[in-house]
Each structure stands twice: as structure tokens, then as C-alpha cells.
Structure 1
Amino acid sequence: MATWPTYAKLIVAGYGEEADYGVLRTDMDNGIAKQRARFSTPIVTRDATIMVTGLENKKALDAWIGTDLAGGAAWFDFFDCAAGSTVQARLVGGKFRWGEPRGRVWTATCQIETLGR
């Protein structure tokens, strides 16, 4: 399992998170619809920001995501301050978007998902 590089910060934005238990819903001919959870452990999606200093670190992170994370599809370990421990996460859809740099600081927006809370 890959570990998030120390030269890049992964900042989980605010406290917004969305839990998905994969609820299946069946409408009934009469009465209330039936529902059941497909997953016992939710998939939690959070907005996050990636921050690196310098163009070389940006290029290194792009290469790391492309190779070690198989284009962003693979799981990685990172320290989650909210959980107070190391958790496994992955980039949702392997997508992240770099913004215009502010001086030497590059930031990208993305979503990450983890199993459980």
C-alpha cells in the first residue's frame, strides 16, 4: 500500500462528509417503500485540498499518483487529523484539479473516499 508523500499536504476541507451505505429501495404497490443497506461499513466521501511547495514537488506528486496510485485508482495511507490515526483512502474517480499557483504554492482540489468513519 502506498503512503501519501511527506512533501505534499492532504487537507480535508472543513467537516463536510457524506456517508453511503448503498441503500437499496423497493417501491411497493401499497404502503411504504422497503429499504435495506447494501454495505455494513459506509463509504465516506470528503472534499480535500492537496498542497505542495514548488514546481518540482508538483511534478513529483503527479508522477507518484500516475505510477504508485495507478492513475489515482489505488488506495493510499494518510494521517487523518480528524480521526487521529492513519486511514486508507483513494481519490474519487482518480480526479484532482490543480489551480493557478500562488507564488511557489500549488493547490489542487479533489475528493477522497474512505471506508468507515
Structure 2
Amino acid sequence: MEIFPAVARVTFDGQVRSFDPSVERTEMERGLPKQRLLNSQVLVKQSMTLYFASIGDATTFESWYFDVIKRIGWFEMVHPYSGQTIKARFENGALGDLVPDEKLTGDFKMDTVVEYMR
């Protein structure tokens, strides 16, 4: 299994976690709606901002993305909230825009979303 590159650091800013609860809800003529679980696991989406200290680090990350995981592959990374190792992939195989960061000259950031099963 491929490992998320150390040149891309996940920042605390920009993190949002969401998931589809995978529940089927049936409205009834009277009384409360019935609910049942559709799946034992749910797909979690974790939005995050990646920080690169230089354009070289961003280029290294893009090479890993295109050449190693080939945009859609699974990889292991440390979850930014729990610190546990998860098996994840990029949602729709997509990365966000690479933009200069305002903190230091020459550093960059990129917003992206990874998804994993919980």
C-alpha cells in the first residue's frame, strides 16, 4: 500500500468531515417513519488543506499523485483528527488548485477531499 507523502502536510485549517449515514427511511401513513441501516460501513469524506513548503515539494507530491497512485489509487495516511492510520483515496480522483500561501514566500497550499470507509 502506498504511503501519503511527507512533503504534503495537512493543516488544521480547512478540515471538515462529513458522511452519508446509509439509512433508508420509509414514511408511514400514521406514526413515526421506519428506518433501517443499508450498510454496515459508511463512506466518510474529509476535506483538508495541504501545505507545501516549496514548489519542489508540490511537484514531488504531484508526481506521486500521477505516477504512483495514478490519481485513483488507495493510500495510507494518518487521520488528521484521530492520529490513526487510514486507507483513503482522493474523492473523484481530484485535487484542488495549487495556490501560493500567504504565510511565507515560496510556500503553497491545496484544498482537497479524501474519502475512506468507517
TM-score (norm 1): 0.80
For residues 20 and 97 of structure 2, the distance between their equivalents in structure 1, rounded to whole angstroms, comes to: 27
Q: Which runs of 5+ in 2 are unaligned?
A: none
Q: Deviations over 1:38-96 (max 9, x none)?
A: 2212211121011112222211111111122221x121111124212211111111112
Matched ranges for 1:23-34 at <5 A: 23-27=23-27, 30-31=29-30, 32-34=32-34
Matched ranges for 1:1-117 at <5 A: 1-11=1-11, 13=13, 16-27=16-27, 30-31=29-30, 32-71=32-71, 73-102=72-101, 103-116=105-118
Q: Deviations over 1:1-36 (max 9, x none)?
A: 1101111113354663212232234455x2354432
Conservation of the 8 A alpha-carbon contact between 2:55 and 2:106 = yes
SS at match of 1:64: helix
Q: Which runs of 5+ in 1 are unaligned?
A: none
Which of the two has greater strand per residue?
A: 1
How many residue pairs match? The answer is 114
SS at match of 1:5: coil
TM-score (norm 2): 0.79
RMSD of aligned Cα (Å): 2.1
